[in-house]
Amino acid sequence: MEKGENANDFGRGLDHKDDDFDPSAPPPFRIAEIRAAIPKHCWIKNPWRSLSYVLRDVFMVFALAAAAIYLNTWIFWPLYWAAQGTMFWAIFVLGHDCGHGSFSNSTLLNSLMGHLLHSAILVPYNGWRISHRTHHQNHGNVENDESWVPLTEKLYKSLDQGTRKLRFTVPFPLFAYPFYLWSRSPGKEGSHFNPYSNLFAPNERKDVITSTLCWSLMAALLIYLSFAVGPILMLKLYGVPHLTFVMWLDFVTYLHHHGYEQKLPWYRGKEWSYLRGGLTTVDRDYGIFNNIHHDIGTHVIHHLFPQIPHYHLVEATKAAKPVLGKYYREPKKSGPIPLHLIESLVRSITEDHYVDDSGEIVYYQTDPELYKSLKSKAI
């Protein structure tokens, strides 16, 4: 077997750039020191500025749709699908900011804009907002994290062969988000639409009902429009861009927590802390898309301080880097199109299959049989 095809080759320390640095070691700084390094104005939320981004994105959505209807050529449609799906993703990020409260200091404005933005792209705002809050509060925790959580070896081996191949073969994981909304990840129960799901506390049920109702109204509107203008046109105008948006979402969120050149730790028990978990997140450079999707690739500081508005994340990160030291991983510079990230995605999904059932500091391991099967198909 060639080097790199054995499961042991994918444990701690593969591709170390600095053999003297252990990313799982407790950092020599506190979160208060990072906070103190960030300029005070970076915490200020300007609702008018936030609304200007909404206006920009909504204008682009309608302008692209109008151009597609007017031109209506198969030369333009693929360009439209890529561009409109990207704008759906940008709108999602603004709704995501509403969920964190970084859109404005007004709970009412955050809730109103969050419901409008997320319902428009078929995301249940409150259901997702609450589960995403759980993700941020438990980032890097094998047992309690909510987003792209590692499978334990026992759970991984309980999956049938077909499910394993589907889960770890690109591009299938890029279509996971709608399934996650309905039924979460393997090993977890509940739905983002069900107010009685174990995702939610009893006092959050009314919020979940509200967002599920808004989602249902949007779904009903899309069905009505399909009858009014025809299902083929609605598929081209909305369906394919929505699929592109889902791929963007899964692509970006996965790479925020996976695929770095050096294996990064996951934690359990007393070894986990909010700071150590947050330091396992990864910043990414998306080239021309950085501004379009509101610098969501500037992710480490966002995870540690989700109250910082997106338009201050780049400045806040620059200020925090001297404190973070080697715990901050400089993103690889992208060309206009972030094609380099496709390699990171494929490598990680091909190699990162499960973590040990026990242990408080664990790293992704590789199933050698699945790895060989995936690699042979890629050749």
**Helix or strand (DSSP H, E) at 361:** strand 361-362
Per-residue pLDDT reduced to its tens digit, 54-102: 999 999 999 999 999 999 999 999 999 999 999 999 999 999 999 999 9
pTM of the model: 0.93
C-alpha neighbours within 13 Å on the C-beta side of residue 324: 24
pLDDT of residue 15: 45
Secondary structure of the chain: what % helix, strand, coil (to 5)? 60, 0, 40
Contact 267, 360 (CB under 8 A): yes
Kindly provide the b/e burial profile for residues 240-272, where b requires at least 16 CB atoms within 10 angstroms of the residue's own CB: bbbbbbbbbbbbbbbbbbbbbeebbbbbbeebb
pLDDT of residue 309: 98
Average pLDDT (344-369) is 96
Per-residue pLDDT reduced to its tens digit, 282-319: 999 999 999 999 999 999 999 999 999 999 999 999 99
Q: Is 354 helix (H, G, I), strand (E, B) or coil?
A: strand
Among left, alpha and beta (phi > 0; psi -120 to 50; other), residue 184 is left
Alpha helices in 121-204 (DSSP H): 125-137, 153-158, 161-167, 177-183
pLDDT of residue 187: 81
- In the DSSP assignment, the letter for residue 221 is H
What residue type is 359 in one-letter code? G
Per-residue pLDDT reduced to its tens digit, 94-131: 999 999 999 999 999 999 999 999 999 999 999 999 99
Q: Is 152 helix (H, G, I), strand (E, B) or coil?
A: strand
Evaluate if residue 340 carries a pLDDT over 50: yes
Evaluate if residue 165 carries a pLDDT over 90: no
- Predicted confidence band at 239 (pLDDT cuts at 50, 70, 90)? very high
Checking DSSP bridges between strand 361-362 and strand 266-267, what pairing results, if any?
antiparallel
